[in-house]
Amino acid sequence: MIFKNISKAKLSLALISLVITFFVWQQGLRDSLNRPSVSFDISQKEQEILELSVQSIPTNLKNILITNDPIDEINNLLSQVPFDELTERNKLIQIISSESNEPTINKNMFKDFEDKNFNLLIDEIEKKSNDNSYKLNSDNFDFLERDRFLYHLLSKKFDFDDSSLITKSFSSKMFLKILAIRFIPLLTILLGSILALKRLWETISLKKFGWQEIKSLDLGLIDMVLLIAGGFVVLGEVVSPLFSVSLVELFSKNISNELSQSLKIFFGYLFMAIPPLGIVYYQIKSLHGQFTFKKDYLQFNFLPIKYSIIQGIKGWLTIVPFVLLISLIMNSLIDNQNGSNPLLEIVLNNNNYLSFFLLFVTTTILAPLFEEIIFRGILLPTLSKDFGIISGIIVSAFIFALAHLSLGEMPPLFVLGIGLGITRIASGSLFSSVIMHSLWNGLTFLNLFLLRT
């Protein structure tokens, strides 16, 4: 029997953890529907960079990079959202780029902003709309030095020189950014497709996939429930944030909001990882009588290091086309998908370099290492032992996707989880799946970093 030799206390704890997890994940998935999709901001940022790079784009590339006027594209994006729901910056963009000066539009658009500088701009725009001969003083817009797109937009609207901020070198930098944003994903898709076809051909010709030996700890399903539901969810996602958020708020009263947000995410992840990793430590110690770091309980198999890294890179490249394909299918089936990870928006709109460093460490080191230990180091081998490798990969990938609490992102994350599972077993190295996970998060982070204007 599956529950043989399991104490009633352990069963009761597992059951309580499952019930709490059900309600936490159900609420988390429902809440994700109310979170906006970051794809809207990404599309807008890309068009802003494109507009700022126009003067540096070679003539033979303009037709490739620019299909429609970037400002028109931005207006089309903004028009899909009710004006009252736009951010103050986007409201201002829509007001500035509007070709109409009808009073009805002005009444709806010219509203008080929390940013006093924005209100001054609105006053200038109103004066200009009421008197065409009114000359704007571009010195009034110096506060936009850190928002060059808005400055450029104003210069186009009111015909003044913006070359002091939109310099040739700055425009060239934006051109390099747009090349990287457009062509790095294409290059990874091309290389990944070649690797995927090569792997498929090898599998068909050899008539086997070539799984490596997988070693699992002598744990059962109840142990997995206690680890995932009890450690990861109840203690990690529910209890730990009470301490991490309080700690950061206690010491972050005099720092910027951006840095405070990043510290909450960084320490939140550290505190969230402690309970499930503590349970892993306890489970290993119970099985072996002791815990020794020198012993590779989870098959990290670092050595040979070159092999592990190469397998991780190959796994990352191979899965990229499949994840992006699923994302495209989801976008075509569901308009305006909600539920993006809030971390994506924080990275996209962050201007503090210390914050960036903390977010980078969290997304490319802490998250991959912690999640791979839990999902591919413990859960996948245990499920594979009881139900077979294929079932183990699928079920662990589903739980991995579910744990991110985003309905919109579940299908791509499920495919990514399958890729991580295949890499873990095909390479025989947990370190390879950590590298693969880190590269995936790193590419996403790099793309968001490049999109900042």
Residue-by-residue DSSP string for 67-115: SS-HHHHHHHHHHTS-GGGS-HHHHHHHHHH-----HHHHHHH----SS
- The residue among 176, 210, 239 that closes a domain is 176
- The pLDDT value given to residue 417: 96
DSSP state of 409: T
User: Are both 387 and 238 inside the same structural domain?
Assistant: yes
- The residue among 119, 141, 176 that closes a domain is 176
For residue 276, give the 3-state DSSP assignment.
Answer: helix
What is d(CA 298, CA 283) in angstroms, rounded to the nearest whole number?
A: 12
Evaluate whether residue 3 is within a structural domain. Answer: no
* Torsion on CA atoms 305, 308, 310, 313, rounded to nearest 10: -130
- The pLDDT value given to residue 101: 43
User: Are both 316 and 420 inside the same structural domain?
Assistant: yes
User: Are both 324 and 403 inside the same structural domain?
Assistant: yes
What crossing angle do the helices spanning 389-402 and 410-427 adopt, rounded to 10°?
Answer: 140
Give percent of the chain above pLDDT 90.
Answer: 40
Give percent of the chain above pLDDT 70.
Answer: 92
Evaluate whether residue 47 is within a structural domain. Answer: yes
Evaluate whether residue 2 is within a structural domain. Answer: no
**Is the pLDDT score of 120 beyond 80?**
no
Regarding predicted confidence, which is higher, 336 or 438? 438
- The pLDDT value given to residue 171: 93
- The pLDDT value given to residue 105: 41
Evaluate whether residue 393 is within a structural domain. Answer: yes
- The pLDDT value given to residue 110: 52
- The residue among 126, 143, 176 that closes a domain is 176
- The pLDDT value given to residue 111: 55
User: Are both 359 and 372 inside the same structural domain?
Assistant: yes
User: Are both 442 and 369 inside the same structural domain?
Assistant: yes
Structure tokens at 180: 């990287």
Please, which pLDDT band fits residue 3 given cuts at 50, 70 and 90? low
Please, which pLDDT band fits residue 377 given cuts at 50, 70 and 90? very high
CA dist 366 → 56, 68, 192, 418, 435 (Å): 39, 41, 25, 20, 12
Helices (H), 289-388: 305-333, 342-348, 353-361, 367-372, 380-387
Please, which pLDDT band fits residue 118 given cuts at 50, 70 and 90? confident
User: Are both 344 and 393 inside the same structural domain?
Assistant: yes
What is the DSSP annotation of 300-313?
Answer: ----SHHHHHHHHH
Q: Average model confidence (pLDDT) for the chain?
A: 85
User: Are both 90 and 189 inside the same structural domain?
Assistant: no
User: Are both 127 and 140 inside the same structural domain?
Assistant: yes
Query: For 379-390, what is each residue's pLDDT tens digit?
Result: 999 999 989 999
Structure tokens at 286: 């119970």
Determine the average pLDDT of the residues in 401-414: 90
Query: For 143-170, what is each residue's pLDDT tens digit?
Result: 777 888 988 888 888 777 888 888 899 9
User: Are both 223 and 142 inside the same structural domain?
Assistant: no
What is d(CA 224, CA 283) in angstroms, rounded to the nearest whole number?
A: 10
User: Are both 288 and 417 inside the same structural domain?
Assistant: yes
Please, which pLDDT band fits residue 330 given cuts at 50, 70 and 90? confident
CA dist 214 → 297, 383, 397 (Å): 11, 11, 17
Please, which pLDDT band fits residue 337 given cuts at 50, 70 and 90? low
The Cα angle at residue 68 between residues 84 and 340, in degrees rounded to 5: 45
Evaluate whether residue 429 is within a structural domain. Answer: yes
CA-wise closest residue to 312 among 150, 237, 232, 422: 422
Structure tokens at 307: 């092999």
CB burial string 128-157: b at 16+ within 10 A, e below: bbeeeeeebebeebeebeebbbbbbbbbeb
- The pLDDT value given to residue 231: 94
Evaluate whether residue 226 is within a structural domain. Answer: yes
Q: Count of domains in the chain?
A: 2
Query: For 427-447, what is each residue's pLDDT tens digit?
Result: 999 999 999 999 999 998 888
User: Are both 136 and 198 inside the same structural domain?
Assistant: no
Structure tokens at 152: 């450029």
Evaluate whether residue 1 is within a structural domain. Answer: no
What is d(CA 67, CA 134) in angstroms, rounded to the nearest whole number?
A: 35
Query: For 232-260, what is each residue's pLDDT tens digit?
Result: 999 999 999 888 888 888 877 778 778 88
**Is the pLDDT score of 192 beyond 90?**
yes
User: Are both 217 and 113 inside the same structural domain?
Assistant: no
pTM of the model: 0.88
Evaluate whether residue 101 is within a structural domain. Answer: yes
- Residue range(s) defining the domain that contains residue 259: 8-34+181-450
Determine the average pLDDT of the residues in 198-213: 78
